[in-house]
């Protein structure tokens, strides 16, 4: 939901021409954006890791060559959604989801306070990095990508990686490796331009047809809801029309791809808003960028789906949705 300072944008009348011109014009100017993300030292995307944990992830994510801060962040997000109180039915605990046996063997006193606390991110995040690096050392002589071999060891055990001389032919393990390596792209700070989305125009066209539809909290556009949406229900439905299945809530949708700068926004990018500009888990609103500084969004109860400006004090950032990025996102969070 947007705050009161957001004013209504352009009316639905004339919206088709407005959006078409913005989309076509912006994409004609986007030829220089197709080189993708460049190479270089890995930093964290703005706000992708909660402020309280960002220094830990940045520091310990550089513990060994097999990991980096974005990869470590992707693991923590996949395991717990950065929830230090998370616990799973498999009896895994804390922000890094250690089981007690693994913690006893590999937990470290990361903050040097004299104890190893599985619930304390100051211990658990360093322990996760340390465990990754230890696994990497076990399989350091195995051919192939050291990071993928480390991730496969985390899932299937180092013995399996050594036996198969790389990522073993287990579907679960292969999916785990792909998921984490894909997710890390949404936590990494891009060092170059980000590729335009191929699905963007169709997603915008869907949202455009909904202009003027009344807002409904929790709305997914179903018939029993009168075809109404809330903000993330609209973005989810728009991308489903092109076969991309986004999570239901805005703060998880933020992790569906890399994050272009404000100056690099293209039509179809998801744009996000928050009261805490240092924490993507606090995001509370999302819209679909259409160009020219405007988005289509479902802003709040009592309003309708409309054009709204993007440049407001609560603007958090943007995501260029990718199919692989959306598919990699967790479908459920650990219990609290």
| Tens digits of residue pLDDT in 275-330 | 999 999 999 999 999 999 999 999 999 999 999 999 999 999 999 999 999 999 87
Render pLDDT for 19-50 as a digit per residue (tens, 0 to 9). Answer: 443 444 433 333 333 333 223 378 899 899 99
Render pLDDT for 50-74 as a digit per residue (tens, 0 to 9): 999 999 999 999 999 999 999 999 9
Encoded tokens for 238? 């728009």
List the one residue out of 181, 305, 314, 270 whose CA is nearest residue 297.
305
Q: How far apart are CA 186 and CA 286, in angstroms?
A: 16
CB 125 within 8 A of CB 50: no
CB 317 within 8 A of CB 66: no
Which pLDDT does position 299 carry in this prediction?
95
At 227-238, the pLDDT tens digits run 999 999 999 999
- What is the reported pLDDT for 331? 57
Return the number of other C-beta atoms located less than 10 Å from residue 93's C-beta: 21
The model scores a pTM over 0.75: yes
DSSP letter string, 292-329: TTEEEE--STT-BSEEEES-STTEEEEE---HHHHHHS
- Is residue 12 pLDDT above 80, yes or no? no
d(CA 296, CA 272): 12
Longest dimension (CA), the chain: 66
For residues 236 and 151, what is the distance between their CA atoms, to the nearest angstrom? 30
What domains appear along the chain, each with residue ranges and CATH number? 53-187 (1.10.530.10), 198-328 (3.90.1720.10)
What mean pLDDT do residues 113-136 have? 97
């Amino acid at each position: 939901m947007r705050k009161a300072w957001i004013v209504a944008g352009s009316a639905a009348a004339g919206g088709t021409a407005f959006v078409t011109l913005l989309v076509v014009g912006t994409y004609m100017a986007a030829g220089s954006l197709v080189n993708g993300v460049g190479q270089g030292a890995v930093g964290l995307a703005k706000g992708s890791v909660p402020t309280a944990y960002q220094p830990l992830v940045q520091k310990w994510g550089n513990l060994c060559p097999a990991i980096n801060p974005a990869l470590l962040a992707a693991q923590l997000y996949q395991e717990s959604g950065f929830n230090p109180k998370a616990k799973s039915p498999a009896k895994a605990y804390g922000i890094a989801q250690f089981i007690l046996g693994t913690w006893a063997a590999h937990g470290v006193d990361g903050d040097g306070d004299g104890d190893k606390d599985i619930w304390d991110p100051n211990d658990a995040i360093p322990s996760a990095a340390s465990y990754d690096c230890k696994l990497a050392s076990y399989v350091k002589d195995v051919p192939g990508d050291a990071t993928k071999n480390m991730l496969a060891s985390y899932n299937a055990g180092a013995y399996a990686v050594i036996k198969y001389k790389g990522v073993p032919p287990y579907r679960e393990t292969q999916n785990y490796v792909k998921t984490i390596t894909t997710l890390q792209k949404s936590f990494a700070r891009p060092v170059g331009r980000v590729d335009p989305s191929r699905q963007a125009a169709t997603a915008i066209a869907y949202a455009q047809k909904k202009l003027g539809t009344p807002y409904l909290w929790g709305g997914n556009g179903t018939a029993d809801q009168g075809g109404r949406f809330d903000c993330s229900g609209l973005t989810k439905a728009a991308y489903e029309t092109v076969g991309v299945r986004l999570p239901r809530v805005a703060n998880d949708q933020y992790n569906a791809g890399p994050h272009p700068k404000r100056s690099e926004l293209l039509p179809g990018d998801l744009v996000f808003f928050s009261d805490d500009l240092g924490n993507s888990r606090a995001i509370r609103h999302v819209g679909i960028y259409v160009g020219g500084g405007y988005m289509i969004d479902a802003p709040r109860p009592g309003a309708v789906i409309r054009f709204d400006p993007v440049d407001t004090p609560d603007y958090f950032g943007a995501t260029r949705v990718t199919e692989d990025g959306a598919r990699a996102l967790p479908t459920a969070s650990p219990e609290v």
